Chains A and B, each alone.
Chain A
Amino acid sequence: MIQVLFVVLFGAVAIWFAYKVFTTASMMRSALALLFSMTAVGAMFLALQAEFLGVLQIMMMASEMVVMALFMIMYMMNPGGLAAMEMTHQKRLSIAVAVVAGLLAVGAALFGGWPLATEAVAAPAGQTRELGLEIMERSMLVFETAGVTILVAMIATTALAIRRPA
Protein backbone atom coordinates (compact mmCIF):
# COMPACT_ATOMS: atom_id res chain seq x y z
CA MET A 1 0.00 0.00 0.00
CA ILE A 2 2.72 2.48 1.03
CA GLN A 3 4.74 1.32 -1.97
CA VAL A 4 1.89 2.10 -4.37
CA LEU A 5 1.44 5.47 -2.69
CA PHE A 6 5.08 6.39 -3.23
CA VAL A 7 5.09 5.18 -6.83
CA VAL A 8 2.01 7.34 -7.54
CA LEU A 9 3.54 10.31 -5.70
CA PHE A 10 6.84 10.20 -7.58
CA GLY A 11 4.95 9.58 -10.84
CA ALA A 12 2.88 12.71 -10.24
CA VAL A 13 6.04 14.70 -9.48
CA ALA A 14 7.64 13.41 -12.71
CA ILE A 15 4.59 14.45 -14.76
CA TRP A 16 4.39 17.87 -13.07
CA PHE A 17 8.05 18.68 -13.83
CA ALA A 18 7.69 17.31 -17.37
CA TYR A 19 4.77 19.73 -17.85
CA LYS A 20 6.89 22.58 -16.48
CA VAL A 21 9.59 21.87 -19.08
CA PHE A 22 7.30 23.30 -21.77
CA THR A 23 5.48 26.01 -19.86
CA THR A 24 8.51 28.01 -18.69
CA ALA A 25 10.16 30.61 -20.90
CA SER A 26 13.78 29.92 -19.94
CA MET A 27 16.36 27.38 -21.04
CA MET A 28 17.73 26.97 -17.53
CA ARG A 29 14.36 26.43 -15.83
CA SER A 30 13.37 24.07 -18.60
CA ALA A 31 16.56 21.99 -18.29
CA LEU A 32 16.26 21.85 -14.50
CA ALA A 33 12.59 20.85 -14.73
CA LEU A 34 13.58 18.01 -17.06
CA LEU A 35 16.30 17.00 -14.59
CA PHE A 36 13.89 16.80 -11.66
CA SER A 37 11.35 14.94 -13.79
CA MET A 38 14.02 12.32 -14.51
CA THR A 39 15.08 12.27 -10.84
CA ALA A 40 11.45 11.54 -9.91
CA VAL A 41 11.47 8.63 -12.38
CA GLY A 42 14.61 7.38 -10.60
CA ALA A 43 12.81 7.67 -7.28
CA MET A 44 9.95 5.62 -8.81
CA PHE A 45 12.47 2.86 -9.61
CA LEU A 46 13.63 2.99 -5.99
CA ALA A 47 10.02 2.74 -4.81
CA LEU A 48 9.63 -0.29 -7.10
CA GLN A 49 12.61 -1.92 -5.35
CA ALA A 50 14.90 -1.68 -8.38
CA GLU A 51 17.73 -0.18 -6.36
CA PHE A 52 20.61 -0.27 -8.83
CA LEU A 53 18.48 1.06 -11.69
CA GLY A 54 17.05 3.83 -9.51
CA VAL A 55 20.41 5.05 -8.20
CA LEU A 56 21.89 4.88 -11.70
CA GLN A 57 18.98 6.90 -13.12
CA ILE A 58 19.29 9.52 -10.37
CA MET A 59 23.04 9.84 -11.01
CA MET A 60 23.17 9.73 -14.82
CA MET A 61 20.24 12.05 -15.47
CA ALA A 62 21.54 14.75 -13.13
CA SER A 63 24.99 14.81 -14.72
CA GLU A 64 23.54 14.63 -18.23
CA MET A 65 21.05 17.44 -17.70
CA VAL A 66 23.61 19.73 -16.04
CA VAL A 67 25.98 19.25 -18.97
CA MET A 68 23.08 19.66 -21.42
CA ALA A 69 22.07 22.95 -19.78
CA LEU A 70 25.66 24.17 -20.05
CA PHE A 71 25.99 23.31 -23.73
CA MET A 72 22.49 24.56 -24.62
CA ILE A 73 23.20 27.95 -23.12
CA MET A 74 26.74 28.05 -24.52
CA TYR A 75 25.50 27.79 -28.11
CA MET A 76 22.57 30.23 -27.79
CA MET A 77 22.69 34.00 -28.31
CA ASN A 78 21.41 34.43 -24.78
CA PRO A 79 24.10 35.41 -22.27
CA GLY A 80 24.00 32.94 -19.40
CA GLY A 81 20.48 31.95 -20.40
CA LEU A 82 19.19 34.82 -18.27
CA ALA A 83 16.92 36.31 -20.94
CA ALA A 84 13.41 34.94 -21.49
CA MET A 85 13.02 32.65 -24.45
CA GLU A 86 10.12 30.72 -25.99
CA MET A 87 10.81 27.02 -25.44
CA THR A 88 8.22 25.56 -27.86
CA HIS A 89 7.49 25.62 -31.57
CA GLN A 90 4.88 24.01 -33.86
CA LYS A 91 2.57 23.99 -30.87
CA ARG A 92 -0.57 22.47 -32.43
CA LEU A 93 1.28 19.62 -34.10
CA SER A 94 3.30 18.79 -31.00
CA ILE A 95 0.23 18.88 -28.73
CA ALA A 96 -1.60 16.55 -31.12
CA VAL A 97 1.35 14.15 -31.27
CA ALA A 98 1.74 14.25 -27.49
CA VAL A 99 -1.97 13.54 -26.87
CA VAL A 100 -2.02 10.60 -29.31
CA ALA A 101 1.23 9.14 -27.92
CA GLY A 102 0.00 9.63 -24.35
CA LEU A 103 -3.29 7.84 -25.10
CA LEU A 104 -1.37 4.99 -26.75
CA ALA A 105 0.87 4.66 -23.69
CA VAL A 106 -2.09 4.70 -21.29
CA GLY A 107 -3.91 2.16 -23.50
CA ALA A 108 -0.86 -0.11 -23.54
CA ALA A 109 -0.60 0.18 -19.75
CA LEU A 110 -4.27 -0.63 -19.18
CA PHE A 111 -4.94 -3.29 -21.82
CA GLY A 112 -1.45 -4.73 -22.26
CA GLY A 113 -2.20 -7.81 -20.18
CA TRP A 114 1.21 -7.61 -18.55
CA PRO A 115 2.61 -10.98 -17.53
CA LEU A 116 4.24 -11.25 -14.11
CA ALA A 117 7.92 -10.51 -14.74
CA THR A 118 9.14 -12.34 -11.67
CA GLU A 119 7.66 -14.16 -8.71
CA ALA A 120 9.65 -12.35 -6.04
CA VAL A 121 11.92 -9.30 -6.13
CA ALA A 122 15.56 -10.30 -5.74
CA ALA A 123 17.66 -8.69 -2.99
CA PRO A 124 19.38 -5.46 -4.12
CA ALA A 125 22.88 -6.99 -4.18
CA GLY A 126 21.51 -9.94 -6.18
CA GLN A 127 19.95 -7.57 -8.71
CA THR A 128 23.28 -5.82 -9.27
CA ARG A 129 25.01 -9.17 -9.70
CA GLU A 130 22.43 -10.45 -12.17
CA LEU A 131 22.64 -7.24 -14.17
CA GLY A 132 26.43 -7.51 -14.27
CA LEU A 133 26.27 -11.11 -15.48
CA GLU A 134 23.69 -10.14 -18.10
CA ILE A 135 25.95 -7.38 -19.42
CA MET A 136 29.05 -9.57 -19.42
CA GLU A 137 27.41 -12.70 -20.83
CA ARG A 138 24.26 -12.74 -22.95
CA SER A 139 24.06 -9.05 -23.86
CA MET A 140 27.78 -8.42 -24.16
CA LEU A 141 27.73 -7.97 -27.93
CA VAL A 142 24.87 -5.47 -27.72
CA PHE A 143 26.57 -3.36 -25.07
CA GLU A 144 29.99 -3.51 -26.70
CA THR A 145 28.53 -2.50 -30.08
CA ALA A 146 26.68 0.42 -28.52
CA GLY A 147 29.77 1.49 -26.55
CA VAL A 148 32.11 1.37 -29.55
CA THR A 149 29.54 3.23 -31.68
CA ILE A 150 29.29 6.04 -29.15
CA LEU A 151 33.09 6.19 -28.87
CA VAL A 152 33.43 6.44 -32.66
CA ALA A 153 30.81 9.21 -32.70
CA MET A 154 32.71 11.10 -30.01
CA ILE A 155 36.03 10.82 -31.85
CA ALA A 156 34.39 11.85 -35.14
CA THR A 157 32.75 14.90 -33.51
CA THR A 158 36.05 15.97 -31.96
CA ALA A 159 37.83 15.50 -35.28
CA LEU A 160 35.22 17.66 -37.02
CA ALA A 161 35.44 20.35 -34.35
CA ILE A 162 39.23 20.77 -34.52
CA ARG A 163 40.16 23.93 -36.39
CA ARG A 164 42.65 23.24 -39.15
CA PRO A 165 44.79 25.81 -40.94
CA ALA A 166 43.12 26.62 -44.29
Chain B
Amino acid sequence: MTLVAYLLLVFVGAYVVAVVEEWSTSGRLRPTAPLLHGLALLARESLTPRRHDRNLFEAGPTLLLVAAVLALVALPLAPGLLPVELATGALWLNAALVYVAVALLMAGWGPDGAYAMVGGFRFVGQFIGYAMLIVMPVTAVAMRAESLATIAVVESQAPLWNVLAQPLGFVLFLVAAMAVCFLPPFDQPVAAAELAGGVFGEYTGVRLVVVRLGRLVLVLTLALSVTVLFLGGWLGPWLPPAVWSLLKTLAVVLVMLSVGRYLPRLRTDWALEWGWKLGIPLALVNILWVGVVLLVGPA
Protein backbone atom coordinates (compact mmCIF):
# COMPACT_ATOMS: atom_id res chain seq x y z
CA MET B 1 0.00 0.00 0.00
CA THR B 2 2.82 2.40 0.94
CA LEU B 3 4.61 1.42 -2.24
CA VAL B 4 1.55 2.06 -4.42
CA ALA B 5 0.94 5.46 -2.82
CA TYR B 6 4.62 6.34 -3.21
CA LEU B 7 4.76 5.30 -6.88
CA LEU B 8 1.58 7.23 -7.60
CA LEU B 9 3.04 10.38 -6.04
CA VAL B 10 6.27 9.86 -7.99
CA PHE B 11 4.33 9.53 -11.23
CA VAL B 12 2.38 12.72 -10.53
CA GLY B 13 5.63 14.41 -9.50
CA ALA B 14 7.39 13.45 -12.75
CA TYR B 15 4.43 14.82 -14.72
CA VAL B 16 4.57 18.10 -12.82
CA VAL B 17 8.31 18.32 -13.54
CA ALA B 18 7.53 17.91 -17.24
CA VAL B 19 4.97 20.74 -17.11
CA VAL B 20 7.41 22.98 -15.23
CA GLU B 21 10.21 22.19 -17.69
CA GLU B 22 8.01 23.21 -20.62
CA TRP B 23 7.05 26.37 -18.76
CA SER B 24 10.67 27.25 -17.97
CA THR B 25 11.72 26.99 -21.64
CA SER B 26 8.71 28.35 -23.49
CA GLY B 27 7.05 30.52 -20.85
CA ARG B 28 3.69 28.85 -21.45
CA LEU B 29 1.92 26.79 -18.82
CA ARG B 30 0.20 23.91 -20.63
CA PRO B 31 -0.81 21.09 -18.27
CA THR B 32 -1.70 18.67 -21.09
CA ALA B 33 1.42 19.21 -23.21
CA PRO B 34 3.58 16.38 -21.73
CA LEU B 35 0.74 13.89 -22.19
CA LEU B 36 0.21 14.91 -25.81
CA HIS B 37 3.95 14.92 -26.56
CA GLY B 38 4.29 11.48 -25.00
CA LEU B 39 1.41 10.03 -26.99
CA ALA B 40 2.76 11.57 -30.19
CA LEU B 41 6.20 10.06 -29.54
CA LEU B 42 4.67 6.63 -28.90
CA ALA B 43 3.01 6.71 -32.30
CA ARG B 44 6.17 7.79 -34.07
CA GLU B 45 8.60 5.36 -35.71
CA SER B 46 11.54 4.38 -33.51
CA LEU B 47 14.59 4.41 -35.76
CA THR B 48 17.80 2.54 -34.98
CA PRO B 49 21.25 3.54 -36.23
CA ARG B 50 22.74 1.19 -38.81
CA ARG B 51 25.58 -0.44 -36.86
CA HIS B 52 24.55 0.17 -33.26
CA ASP B 53 25.52 -2.04 -30.32
CA ARG B 54 22.11 -3.43 -29.51
CA ASN B 55 22.73 -4.24 -25.84
CA LEU B 56 24.16 -0.86 -24.91
CA PHE B 57 21.79 1.12 -27.14
CA GLU B 58 18.70 -0.46 -25.59
CA ALA B 59 20.03 -0.69 -22.03
CA GLY B 60 21.25 2.94 -21.78
CA PRO B 61 17.89 4.75 -21.41
CA THR B 62 16.48 1.93 -19.30
CA LEU B 63 19.42 2.11 -16.93
CA LEU B 64 18.91 5.89 -16.64
CA LEU B 65 15.33 5.34 -15.51
CA VAL B 66 16.30 2.43 -13.22
CA ALA B 67 19.11 4.43 -11.58
CA ALA B 68 16.78 7.38 -10.97
CA VAL B 69 14.09 5.14 -9.43
CA LEU B 70 16.65 3.23 -7.31
CA ALA B 71 17.97 6.52 -5.92
CA LEU B 72 14.43 7.68 -5.27
CA VAL B 73 13.25 4.70 -3.21
CA ALA B 74 15.67 5.54 -0.39
CA LEU B 75 14.15 9.03 0.05
CA PRO B 76 11.20 9.47 2.42
CA LEU B 77 8.19 11.64 1.59
CA ALA B 78 6.81 11.33 5.13
CA PRO B 79 7.68 9.29 8.26
CA GLY B 80 5.78 6.21 7.02
CA LEU B 81 6.06 6.91 3.31
CA LEU B 82 9.40 5.33 2.42
CA PRO B 83 9.55 2.25 0.16
CA VAL B 84 12.90 0.89 1.34
CA GLU B 85 14.24 1.76 4.78
CA LEU B 86 17.99 1.35 4.45
CA ALA B 87 20.44 1.88 7.29
CA THR B 88 22.81 3.25 4.64
CA GLY B 89 20.23 5.32 2.72
CA ALA B 90 22.44 8.37 2.12
CA LEU B 91 25.23 6.17 0.75
CA TRP B 92 22.74 4.25 -1.36
CA LEU B 93 21.64 7.54 -2.96
CA ASN B 94 25.25 8.17 -4.04
CA ALA B 95 25.62 4.60 -5.32
CA ALA B 96 22.48 4.76 -7.46
CA LEU B 97 23.38 8.17 -8.91
CA VAL B 98 26.72 6.86 -10.20
CA TYR B 99 24.75 4.65 -12.59
CA VAL B 100 23.42 7.78 -14.30
CA ALA B 101 26.97 8.26 -15.63
CA VAL B 102 27.08 4.58 -16.63
CA ALA B 103 23.75 4.94 -18.43
CA LEU B 104 24.86 8.01 -20.36
CA LEU B 105 28.16 6.38 -21.28
CA MET B 106 26.25 3.36 -22.62
CA ALA B 107 23.67 5.47 -24.46
CA GLY B 108 26.43 7.59 -25.96
CA TRP B 109 28.62 4.74 -27.11
CA GLY B 110 25.85 2.35 -28.19
CA PRO B 111 24.56 4.08 -31.36
CA ASP B 112 28.05 4.04 -33.00
CA GLY B 113 27.80 7.70 -33.95
CA ALA B 114 30.26 10.54 -33.38
CA TYR B 115 27.89 13.11 -31.84
CA ALA B 116 26.37 10.71 -29.34
CA MET B 117 29.79 9.31 -28.43
CA VAL B 118 31.25 12.79 -27.80
CA GLY B 119 28.18 13.62 -25.67
CA GLY B 120 28.61 10.45 -23.60
CA PHE B 121 32.26 11.12 -22.88
CA ARG B 122 31.49 14.75 -22.07
CA PHE B 123 29.10 13.55 -19.40
CA VAL B 124 31.77 11.26 -17.93
CA GLY B 125 34.10 14.28 -17.82
CA GLN B 126 31.36 16.23 -16.08
CA PHE B 127 30.79 13.28 -13.72
CA ILE B 128 34.43 13.41 -12.60
CA GLY B 129 33.87 17.09 -11.87
CA TYR B 130 30.67 16.84 -9.84
CA ALA B 131 31.00 13.38 -8.18
CA MET B 132 32.86 14.61 -5.10
CA LEU B 133 30.44 17.54 -4.73
CA ILE B 134 27.61 15.04 -4.32
CA VAL B 135 29.45 12.79 -1.87
CA MET B 136 31.11 15.36 0.39
CA PRO B 137 28.04 17.50 1.29
CA VAL B 138 26.16 14.23 1.96
CA THR B 139 29.02 13.26 4.29
CA ALA B 140 28.58 16.50 6.23
CA VAL B 141 24.80 15.91 6.44
CA ALA B 142 25.37 12.37 7.72
CA MET B 143 27.84 13.73 10.31
CA ARG B 144 25.16 16.01 11.76
CA ALA B 145 22.54 13.23 11.75
CA GLU B 146 25.08 10.72 13.13
CA SER B 147 23.40 8.24 10.81
CA LEU B 148 23.23 7.32 7.13
CA ALA B 149 19.51 6.56 7.34
CA THR B 150 17.46 9.16 5.49
CA ILE B 151 14.74 9.21 8.18
CA ALA B 152 17.36 10.10 10.80
CA VAL B 153 18.77 12.77 8.47
CA VAL B 154 15.39 14.52 8.34
CA GLU B 155 14.80 14.15 12.07
CA SER B 156 18.22 15.67 12.82
CA GLN B 157 17.01 18.88 11.15
CA ALA B 158 14.15 19.49 13.58
CA PRO B 159 16.03 22.26 15.50
CA LEU B 160 17.55 23.86 12.39
CA TRP B 161 17.38 22.90 8.73
CA ASN B 162 20.66 21.95 7.10
CA VAL B 163 20.30 24.74 4.56
CA LEU B 164 20.97 27.15 7.46
CA ALA B 165 23.27 24.87 9.47
CA GLN B 166 25.56 24.18 6.50
CA PRO B 167 24.73 26.64 3.68
CA LEU B 168 27.98 25.95 1.84
CA GLY B 169 27.13 22.26 1.50
CA PHE B 170 23.64 23.17 0.30
CA VAL B 171 24.92 25.38 -2.52
CA LEU B 172 27.52 22.81 -3.60
CA PHE B 173 24.99 19.97 -3.56
CA LEU B 174 22.40 21.98 -5.50
CA VAL B 175 24.92 22.87 -8.22
CA ALA B 176 26.13 19.26 -8.39
CA ALA B 177 22.51 18.06 -8.55
CA MET B 178 21.97 20.23 -11.62
CA ALA B 179 25.08 18.71 -13.18
CA VAL B 180 23.79 15.17 -12.48
CA CYS B 181 20.57 15.98 -14.38
CA PHE B 182 22.60 17.63 -17.19
CA LEU B 183 20.39 20.72 -16.83
CA PRO B 184 21.62 24.08 -18.13
CA PRO B 185 24.28 25.39 -17.63
CA PHE B 186 25.63 21.82 -17.50
CA ASP B 187 23.89 20.58 -20.65
CA GLN B 188 27.01 20.12 -22.79
CA PRO B 189 26.41 16.31 -23.03
CA VAL B 190 23.08 16.87 -24.78
CA ALA B 191 23.94 20.24 -26.35
CA ALA B 192 21.14 20.52 -28.87
CA ALA B 193 22.68 23.32 -30.89
CA GLU B 194 26.11 21.85 -31.29
CA LEU B 195 25.95 18.05 -31.04
CA ALA B 196 22.50 17.57 -32.58
CA GLY B 197 21.11 16.22 -29.32
CA GLY B 198 24.36 14.64 -28.09
CA VAL B 199 23.96 11.49 -26.03
CA PHE B 200 20.31 11.00 -26.89
CA GLY B 201 20.45 12.39 -30.43
CA GLU B 202 19.94 8.95 -32.00
CA TYR B 203 16.90 8.04 -29.92
CA THR B 204 13.44 8.41 -31.45
CA GLY B 205 9.87 7.26 -30.84
CA VAL B 206 9.21 4.98 -27.88
CA ARG B 207 12.91 4.89 -26.92
CA LEU B 208 12.88 8.68 -26.61
CA VAL B 209 9.88 8.36 -24.27
CA VAL B 210 12.01 6.21 -21.96
CA VAL B 211 14.85 8.75 -22.15
CA ARG B 212 12.55 11.66 -21.33
CA LEU B 213 10.85 9.77 -18.51
CA GLY B 214 14.23 8.80 -17.04
CA ARG B 215 15.36 12.43 -17.13
CA LEU B 216 12.13 13.66 -15.48
CA VAL B 217 12.35 11.09 -12.68
CA LEU B 218 16.04 12.01 -12.27
CA VAL B 219 15.20 15.71 -11.81
CA LEU B 220 12.50 14.73 -9.32
CA THR B 221 14.93 12.45 -7.46
CA LEU B 222 17.57 15.14 -7.12
CA ALA B 223 15.01 17.75 -6.05
CA LEU B 224 13.64 15.38 -3.42
CA SER B 225 17.16 14.57 -2.21
CA VAL B 226 17.89 18.30 -1.80
CA THR B 227 14.64 18.53 0.19
CA VAL B 228 15.46 15.53 2.39
CA LEU B 229 19.11 16.37 2.96
CA PHE B 230 18.94 20.15 3.35
CA LEU B 231 15.39 21.52 3.53
CA GLY B 232 14.11 19.45 6.43
CA GLY B 233 12.17 16.91 4.37
CA TRP B 234 8.62 16.62 5.64
CA LEU B 235 9.11 19.02 8.60
CA GLY B 236 6.72 21.96 8.66
CA PRO B 237 3.66 23.29 10.50
CA TRP B 238 -0.09 22.85 9.75
CA LEU B 239 0.03 20.85 6.52
CA PRO B 240 0.43 17.03 6.41
CA PRO B 241 4.10 15.86 6.19
CA ALA B 242 3.90 14.46 2.63
CA VAL B 243 2.46 17.77 1.35
CA TRP B 244 5.40 19.65 2.85
CA SER B 245 7.84 17.27 1.12
CA LEU B 246 6.11 17.73 -2.22
CA LEU B 247 5.85 21.53 -1.90
CA LYS B 248 9.55 21.85 -1.06
CA THR B 249 10.46 19.47 -3.86
CA LEU B 250 8.42 21.55 -6.31
CA ALA B 251 10.22 24.70 -5.19
CA VAL B 252 13.61 23.01 -5.73
CA VAL B 253 12.48 21.76 -9.17
CA LEU B 254 11.53 25.34 -10.09
CA VAL B 255 14.95 26.61 -9.02
CA MET B 256 16.85 23.80 -10.76
CA LEU B 257 15.00 24.22 -14.04
CA SER B 258 14.95 28.01 -14.21
CA VAL B 259 18.28 29.24 -12.78
CA GLY B 260 20.36 27.68 -15.58
CA ARG B 261 18.37 29.51 -18.25
CA TYR B 262 20.02 32.76 -17.21
CA LEU B 263 23.58 31.41 -17.24
CA PRO B 264 25.91 30.66 -20.15
CA ARG B 265 26.71 26.98 -20.84
CA LEU B 266 29.71 25.78 -18.88
CA ARG B 267 32.49 24.15 -20.90
CA THR B 268 33.29 20.62 -19.71
CA ASP B 269 36.91 21.46 -18.88
CA TRP B 270 35.84 24.53 -16.90
CA ALA B 271 33.28 22.51 -15.02
CA LEU B 272 36.03 20.04 -14.17
CA GLU B 273 38.48 22.75 -13.16
CA TRP B 274 36.00 24.62 -10.94
CA GLY B 275 34.70 21.38 -9.50
CA TRP B 276 38.12 20.29 -8.33
CA LYS B 277 39.98 23.51 -7.61
CA LEU B 278 37.09 25.44 -6.07
CA GLY B 279 34.34 22.94 -5.23
CA ILE B 280 36.33 20.28 -3.37
CA PRO B 281 38.22 22.74 -1.09
CA LEU B 282 34.89 24.42 -0.26
CA ALA B 283 33.33 21.01 0.46
CA LEU B 284 36.25 20.23 2.80
CA VAL B 285 35.72 23.59 4.56
CA ASN B 286 32.05 22.62 4.93
CA ILE B 287 32.94 19.27 6.51
CA LEU B 288 35.40 21.01 8.87
CA TRP B 289 32.75 23.63 9.77
CA VAL B 290 30.15 20.96 10.54
CA GLY B 291 32.68 18.98 12.57
CA VAL B 292 33.68 22.01 14.64
CA VAL B 293 30.04 22.97 15.25
CA LEU B 294 29.26 19.41 16.31
CA LEU B 295 32.16 19.34 18.76
CA VAL B 296 31.86 22.78 20.36
CA GLY B 297 28.16 23.52 19.72
CA PRO B 298 25.31 22.77 22.12
CA ALA B 299 24.82 19.04 22.68
Contacts and interface: CB of A to CB of B under 8 A. Distances in A.
Contacts, number: 74
B211 interface: no
A66 B127 contact: yes
Contacts of B88: 51-52, 55, 124, 128
A133 to B, nearest CB: 13
A82 B91 CA distance: 34
Interface residues of A, number: 26
B134 to A, nearest CB: 10
Nearest to B67: A62
Interface of A: 28-29, 32, 35, 51-52, 55-56, 58-59, 62-63, 65-67, 69-70, 73, 80-82, 123-125, 127-128
Nearest to B99: A62
Contact of B102 (A35, A55, A81): A35
Chain B: interface residue count, which band? 20 to 34
B109, B112, B121, B127: residue with the most chain A Cβ atoms closer than 10 Å:
B109
Contacts of B91: 52, 55-56, 59
Nearest to B101: A66
Interface in B107-158: 109, 112, 114, 117-118, 121, 124-125, 127-128, 131, 147-149
Contacts of A52: 87-88, 91
B149 A69 contact: no
Contacts of B86: 51, 55, 124
Nearest to B89: A55
B85 to A, nearest CB: 10
Given A29-B53, A55-B88, A124-B88, A80 B99 contact: no
A75 B262 CA distance: 37
B121 A80 contact: yes
Interface string B170-189: 00000000000000000000
A-side binding surface: helix, strand, loop or mixed?
helix
B141 to A, nearest CB: 15
Interface of B: 53, 56, 86-88, 91-92, 94-95, 98-99, 101-102, 105-106, 109, 112, 114, 117-118, 121, 124-125, 127-128, 131, 147-149
Contacts of B128: 67, 70
A70 B105 CA distance: 9
Contacts of A123: 87
The 9 closest A-B pairs by CB, nearest first: A124-B87, A59-B95, A125-B87, A62-B98, A80-B117, A58-B95, A70-B124, A55-B88, A63-B98
A63 B131 contact: yes
Nearest to A69: B105
A32 B56 contact: yes
A127 B114 CA distance: 47
Contacts of B109: 28, 80-82
A51 B95 CA distance: 12
